[in-house]
Amino acid sequence: MSGAKNAVLPILAATLLSDEPSVIENAPQVSDVALMCDILRELGAKVIQAGEEITVHPDGCRGTRAPYELVSRMRASICVLGPLLAKQHRAEVSMPGGCVIGPRPIDLHVKGLQCLGASYAIEHGYMVWQAPRLAGARVHLGGAYGSSVLATDNVLMAAALAEGITTIEHAACEPEVVDLADCLSAMGARITGQGTPVIHVEGVRQLHGVRYRIISDRIEAGTLLIAAAMVGGDVTLEGARADHLEALIDKLAEASVRVEQTPGALRVRATQPTQAADITTLPFPGFPTDLQAQMMALMSISRGVSVLTEKVYPERFMHISELNRMGAHITREGASAIVKGVSHLSGAPVTAPDLRASAALVLAGMAAESQTEVSGLEHLDRGYQHLDHQLRLLGARIHRTHRKE
């Protein structure tokens, strides 16, 4: 499996907390990672990419501005805020705005960093932050839709160099947050409680460089598990971790798809028609919002009626209309989608509106009769490393064309 995109982005930002070089291994070769490397270069770091290994030399990093033209392309770029405040005591980060899956406010980032002693003003579309001194504090990060992964990341990184002890309450428990905390610990940070709703950070004076290997991407693994369920077969995914995918595995079992844990891998066997299953997305360890679209594609050809409720991003349903163009029977009611399973999907030209929807449409095309053409693959390239190649290994008849503009 590829390295986790959602883990490597904040870990790359965390390399700015040291003056020594760091080497990040198992970094996925996706466009979001390339963009984060560009942001680090813009801030003055020297970044060398060699396949799945990225070396960051932060000693020349004196910049404090993450420019709009880069930040506007990737929301996760806001995770440079915590390291810049901790190391440079100043940060100028463009307001990230919303996206096609709905507004994604940064109020918890603001709350958390203000608790540590930072302050900001809005100037010409930028949040200009100042932090002459960061001090440990009790920070509560509960929000309207649960905990925030990136806000937890930002507070965690800032607290690593703050004076005193920081306690993050209602912290995100996602494996990617644990990976960041483990990387920071390897750099010399003092962190306990990662993977639980309460994280304790004892600030240190400095961090050192590190060689660190990123965890496997659970969303990529989940996408491939769902792909196998949609087309049937017996597939083993090397490097996939059951402890990162328990909610998905439980729902696949409910849909009559068997997933077994083997040493260092997951094996999925889909030998009978899939059944409807009701799903509600929630922060980890709940069902991942990043697998909702893919699971909707599976439910569209499963027997019975499914209800998929989105509790993380209630507007994340742009893929419904495209799946319906392929013959699915899906209606939306508020933050829920009602999916009536059909016997088959029909190939059609479709357009991907966002990252995970692009994967869902590719999976739907695999299971559909006749040919499906999916455009908008710039979204797919943000988070999947050669998904077409992986699906061909599973037996899919799929090829990618590159059209000249």
Cα–Cα dist 364/346, whole Å: 9
**181 Cβ contact list (under 8 Å, min separation 6):** 156, 189, 191, 194, 199
Strand spans (E) along 28-164 = 46-50, 53-57, 65-66, 90-94, 119-123, 126-130, 138-140
**288 Cβ contact list (under 8 Å, min separation 6):** 218, 219, 222, 247, 248, 281
Among residues 99, 115, 173, 183, the one annotated as catalytic is 99
Strands 126-130 and 90-94: antiparallel
Among 284, 231, 291, 228, smallest CA distance to 260 is for 228
Could you count the other beta carbons within 10 Å of the beta carbon of residue 405?
Answer: 2
Q: How wide is the angle at C-alpha 32 spanned by C-alphas 107 and 34, nearest 5°? A: 130
Active site residue 37: no
- For residue 77, what are its two tokens? 């770029």
Q: Please report how the helices 5-14 and 81-88 are oriented relative to each other, as an axis angle in degrees rounded to 10.
A: 10
Could you count the other beta carbons within 10 Å of the beta carbon of residue 307?
Answer: 15
Under 8 Å between Cβ of 228 and 240: no
Write the Ramachandran bin of 239: left for phi over 0, alpha for psi from -120 to 50, otherwise beta. Answer: left
Which residues participate in catalysis according to the annotation? 99
